[in-house]
Amino acid sequence: MAGDDLRYYETFYGVDLTHWKVNFGSFNDHTKLLVKEYVSDGCSSATSTASQTLKFIYPHHIKKKYFIEGVIDGHITVAASGATAIVDQYRVSVCKANVDNSETELFTTGWVDVDDDNLPWDSGYNIGEERVYPFWIDAWNKKELSENDRIYVKVEVMAVNDVLWHSNDATWEDLKITIPFVM
């Protein structure tokens, strides 16, 4: 195996920190971040209730020039919030944002059908059932990134009624993704 074929795998987690805002390209005062490890539970964080698109950006440089190539894998976790939710589809994409405000989708799962997955809501205990959806993305079309780019992960969930995302909770990983980098 040649040296340039060696991959470096990095695992990221999605969190929503209410006090830390990122400004990069089209991301203004953005609080949804990719982190390598969860921060303290005492940290000020948010819980999102949504059945729309969420974008988690890695706010740091990785290297002046690098590539993504290999198999990207991970999972998303959602739960019912306030009423029984029905999840129809989800989609996870790895993208890049540039300093010039452009955003480019690099790799995606495409829309994954989950056949109207029912997540019941228990009003007596005020809690919703949760579901973990794993994903794999074949990223064999090597994509180049530079020092002017930042990676971000876009998660889209199509659901009837809202779904809940717990942020900054290592006991329940909403978004976990492992990305293969070629340096």
Q: Is pTM, for the whole model, over 0.85?
A: yes
Higher pLDDT, 23 or 48: 23
**Where do the domains of the chain lie, and which CATH numbers do they carry?**
6-182 (2.60.120.260)
pLDDT digits (tens, 9 = 90+) for 64-122: 999 999 999 999 999 888 889 999 999 999 999 999 999 999 999 999 999 888 999 99
Q: Which stretches of 22-129 are assigned E, i.e. beta strand? A: 22-24, 27-30, 32-35, 48-50, 53-57, 65-80, 85-98, 103-108, 112-119, 121-122, 127-128
Q: What is the pLDDT of residue 71?
A: 97
**Res 13 pLDDT > 90:** yes
Q: Determine the average pLDDT of the residues in 162-177.
A: 85
pLDDT digits (tens, 9 = 90+) for 37-69: 988 877 778 777 776 889 999 999 999 999 999
- Answer for the pair 181, 10: CB distance below 8 angstroms, yes or no: yes
